[in-house]
C-alpha cells in the first residue's frame, strides 16, 4: 500500500485536473525516466519535474541557453531509484531516491532565476520531487482505482534510471502539446535541440 501525502486538496485537484494557467511559450525543465514509461497512465513520458514553470520563451535572452548549459554542466550525472508508491489526493506517484540531486538542480535554477517560482507558488513548501503515474481519478474513485493500479504495477518495482540530462520543454498553451526545446547534459558544456511531442496536457507534471 502506498503512503498518502496530504497537500491542500484544491491545489492538488487543480494540478490533476488541468488548473494550471499555461500560456503559449511556457516552459518546464524535466528529467526523463524511460524505464518507467510502461507504468505511466498520464499520456506523458515518465519524468520527474525539476522546475515547472521555468521562463516563458518570450523572456529568453541571447544568453539563456548558455546559462542553462553552464548551470547543468556544474552538476554531475546521478542515479535515481523508484521503490514505492505514494499519493497526493487524486495523484499516484513514485518518489525518487535520493531526492537530493533533483532538489539541488531546482535550487540552482531558482537561485539563478528567482522569478521562476515552482508550481507558481501554489504549494508551500513546493511539491517534493515525484514521478506521476496517474492523476485521472476523482475523490470518489481514486482509492479503489489506485489500489488496483498499485497491485498491477508493483511487480515492476524497483526501477532504476541513470540521469545524465535535463530536458527543456515548451507548451503551445493550456491543453496543448509539450515539445522538446533543448537538452542539457549534466557535466557537459553543450546542449542539444531535439523535437518530440509530449502530447496533450495542461502542465508538465
- State residue 126's pLDDT score: 82
**∠ CA 171-105-200, rounded to 5°:** 20
Residue 192: is its pLDDT beyond 80? no
| Helix count and strand count (H, E) for the chain | 4, 12
In a domain, 77, yes or no: yes
Q: What is the CATH number of the domain that holds 69?
A: 3.90.1140.10
Q: Summarize pLDDT for 13-36 with one digit per residue, the tens.
A: 333 334 467 899 999 999 999 999
Measured CA to CA, the distance from residue 98 to residue 80 in angstroms comes to 6
Residue 196: is its pLDDT beyond 90? no
Residue 167: is its pLDDT beyond 90? yes
Measured CA to CA, the distance from residue 75 to residue 187 in angstroms comes to 6
In a domain, 69, yes or no: yes
Q: Summarize pLDDT for 62-97 with one digit per residue, the tens.
A: 899 999 999 999 999 999 999 999 998 899 999 999
In this prediction, residue 177 has a pLDDT band, given cuts at 50, 70 and 90, of confident
- State residue 20's pLDDT score: 62
Measured CA to CA, the distance from residue 161 to residue 159 in angstroms comes to 7
Q: What mean pLDDT, rounded, does the chain reach?
A: 86
In a domain, 191, yes or no: yes
Measured CA to CA, the distance from residue 160 to residue 163 in angstroms comes to 10
In a domain, 138, yes or no: yes
In a domain, 202, yes or no: no
In a domain, 134, yes or no: yes
20 versus 105: which is more confidently predicted?
A: 105
In a domain, 201, yes or no: no
pTM attached to this predicted model: 0.84
Measured CA to CA, the distance from residue 41 to residue 187 in angstroms comes to 32
The DSSP letter of residue 97 is B
In a domain, 58, yes or no: yes
- State residue 175's pLDDT score: 74
Residue span of the structural domain in which 174 resides:
3-196
Q: Report the domain count for the chain.
A: 1
| Partners of 3 in the β-ladder | 86
Measured CA to CA, the distance from residue 60 to residue 20 in angstroms comes to 21
Amino acid at each position: 500500500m502506498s503512503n498518502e501525502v496530504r497537500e491542500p486538496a484544491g491545489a492538488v485537484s487543480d494540478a490533476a485536473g488541468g488548473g494550471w494557467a499555461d500560456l503559449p511559450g511556457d516552459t518546464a525543465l524535466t528529467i526523463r525516466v524511460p524505464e518507467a514509461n510502461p507504468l505511466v497512465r498520464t499520456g506523458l513520458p515518465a519524468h520527474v519535474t525539476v522546475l515547472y514553470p521555468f521562463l516563458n520563451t518570450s523572456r529568453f535572452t541571447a544568453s539563456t541557453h548558455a546559462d542553462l548549459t553552464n548551470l547543468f554542466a556544474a552538476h554531475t550525472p546521478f542515479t535515481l531509484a523508484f521503490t514505492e508508491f505514494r499519493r497526493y489526493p487524486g495523484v499516484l506517484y513514485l518518489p525518487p531516491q535520493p531526492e537530493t540531486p533533483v532538489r539541488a538542480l531546482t535550487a540552482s535554477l531558482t537561485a539563478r532565476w528567482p522569478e521562476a517560482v515552482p508550481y507558481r507558488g501554489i504549494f508551500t513548501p513546493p511539491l517534493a520531487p515525484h514521478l506521476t503515474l496517474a492523476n485521472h481519478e476523482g475523490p470518489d474513485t481514486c482509492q479503489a482505482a489506485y489500489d488496483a493500479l498499485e497491485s498491477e504495477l508493483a511487480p515492476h518495482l524497483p526501477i532504476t534510471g541513470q540521469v545524465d540530462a535535463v530536458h527543456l520543454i515548451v507548451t503551445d498553451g493550456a491543453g496543448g502539446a509539450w515539445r522538446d526545446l533543448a537538452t542539457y547534459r549534466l557535466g557537459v558544456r553543450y546542449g542539444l535541440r531535439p523535437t518530440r511531442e509530449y502530447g496533450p496536457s495542461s502542465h508538465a507534471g
